[in-house]
Amino acid sequence: MEHFLAISDLTPDETQDLLDVAVKLKKQHFEGGNGPQFAGKVLGMIFQKPSLRTRVSFDMAMRHMGGDALYLSPNEIGLGKREAISDIARVLSGYVQVLMARVFDHAHVLELAKWSSIPVINGLSDYNHPCQGMADALTIQEKFGKAKGLNVTFVGDGNNVAVSLMHASAQLGWNFTLASPEGYDLTPKAVEVAEKIAAKTGSQFKYLRDPHEAVKGAHVIYTDTWTSMGQEEETAKREKVFPPFQVNAQLVSEADKDVIVMHCLPAHRNHELTDEVADGPHSVIFPQAHNRLHAQKAILARLLGAA
């Protein structure tokens, strides 16, 4: 693994391998702590957008394993504005050992990877959110084991988080259903890539308009904000379109009785997800957020050749 830019860049075996490493490092973390596998390594973290989970979990992942992390704010870097991305990549390659970038335009993280001589991790772009997808897959396997054929349903906007969940589902042989309003579908490119993987792993995909139909038999119901970072101008329009796609107690009651409810957070409570469900017995939103730490340790370990 040279970079970590999309779950669809992996093979099914590599995807499962990362999850197995995450399980191992998580166990180690809770049984006395990880070793100093990342001693002398520094992660540079470029953020063009705000973050709680990604920033803190990457920083703590490095510290837990004996390394360090450096936060670079939007104002400091001015990615592509103050300085060309190709120059930033080549300069930082001489200072730190691994880079993580949260960007608006997916092309920008690809550009960083193209020019840097160190591994680059995609910490979210307008296209996908692969670190989230790995933490989500870890959370799902912790609940259901490594069974194939699970039914994973994403209700809401066919956004970056949905893309990585679909790609993880394809790699792991889970069936993936999206229920979205017209005009908020997954990008054709993301679907094409996923369907190629699914042809090998046996995953089935469905794209529906009716959330009630979509959650029938679901083992996982996943939702995310109706308005992603960078789409703030569309908030009023989206608030009118998405209410029928709210994940509430009624919708959850129509799924499998052991369904888990997931959200990458930050949540807009009582918009895409009601308080009752977020804080109810099916919700795994906090263990899911905590799994960012363990999944990312595995990604870093594989990229740094430390596991």
Quickly tell me which residue has 């296209």 as its tokens.
127
Distance, CA of 259 to CA of 168 (rounded, Å)? 18
Contacts of 88 (CB under 8 A, 6+ apart): 46, 77, 79, 112
Entry field: residues in the chain: 307
Q: Is 129 a catalytic residue?
A: yes
Q: Based on the shown chain and the rule CB under 6 A, indicate whether residue 128 belongs to the binding site for ligand NVA.
A: no
One of 129, 167, 238, 282 is an active-site residue; which one?
Answer: 129
Q: Is 269 a catalytic residue?
A: no
Q: Select from ligand NVA, ligand CP, none the partner in contact with residue 147, using the beta carbon and a kind-dependent cut-off of 5 to 8 Å.
A: none
Q: Based on the shown chain and the rule CB under 6 A, indicate whether residue 285 belongs to the binding site for ligand NVA.
A: no
Query: DSSP labels for 166-216?
Result: HHHHHHHT-EEEEE--TT-PPPHHHHHHHHHHHHHH---EEEES-HHHHHT
Distance, CA of 218 to CA of 262 (rounded, Å)? 12
Binding-site string for ligand CP from residue 88 to residue 107, where x marks contact by CB under 6 A and - marks none: --------------------
Q: How many helices (H) and strands (E) does the chain have?
A: 13, 9
Q: Based on the shown chain and the rule CB under 6 A, indicate whether residue 225 belongs to the binding site for ligand NVA.
A: yes
Q: Select from ligand CP, ligand NVA, none the partner in contact with residue 52, using the beta carbon and a kind-dependent cut-off of 5 to 8 Å.
A: ligand CP
Q: Based on the shown chain and the rule CB under 6 A, indicate whether residue 136 belongs to the binding site for ligand NVA.
A: no
- By beta-carbon proximity to ligand NVA, the closer residue of 178 and 307 is 178
Binding-site string for ligand CP from residue 104 to residue 143, where x marks contact by CB under 6 A and - marks none: --------------------x-------x-----------
Quickly tell me which residue has 């998580």 as its tokens.
26
Window 251 to 290, contacts with ligand CP (CB under 6 A): 264-266
- By beta-carbon proximity to ligand CP, the closer residue of 43 and 124 is 124
The stretch among 154-162, 198-206, 247-255, 272-280 that binds ligand NVA (CB under 6 A) is 154-162
User: Which segments of 39-193 are extended strands (E)?
Assistant: 42-47, 68-72, 98-102, 120-122, 151-155, 175-179
Count of beta carbons in the 10 Å neighbourhood of residue 296: 28
One of 106, 219, 263, 292 is an active-site residue; which one?
Answer: 292
Q: Pick from 3, 26, 41, 53 the residue near ligand CP by CB under 6 A.
A: 53
Greatest Cα pair distance in the chain: 54
Q: Pick from 54, 151, 153, 160 the residue near ligand CP by CB under 6 A.
A: 54
Contacts of 68 (CB under 8 A, 6+ apart): 41, 42, 43, 62
Q: CB of 186: closest distance to ligand NVA in angstroms?
A: 13
Binding site for ligand NVA (CB under 6 A): 124, 159-161, 224-225, 228-229, 264
Q: What residues are annotated to the active site? A: 102, 129, 132, 224, 264, 292
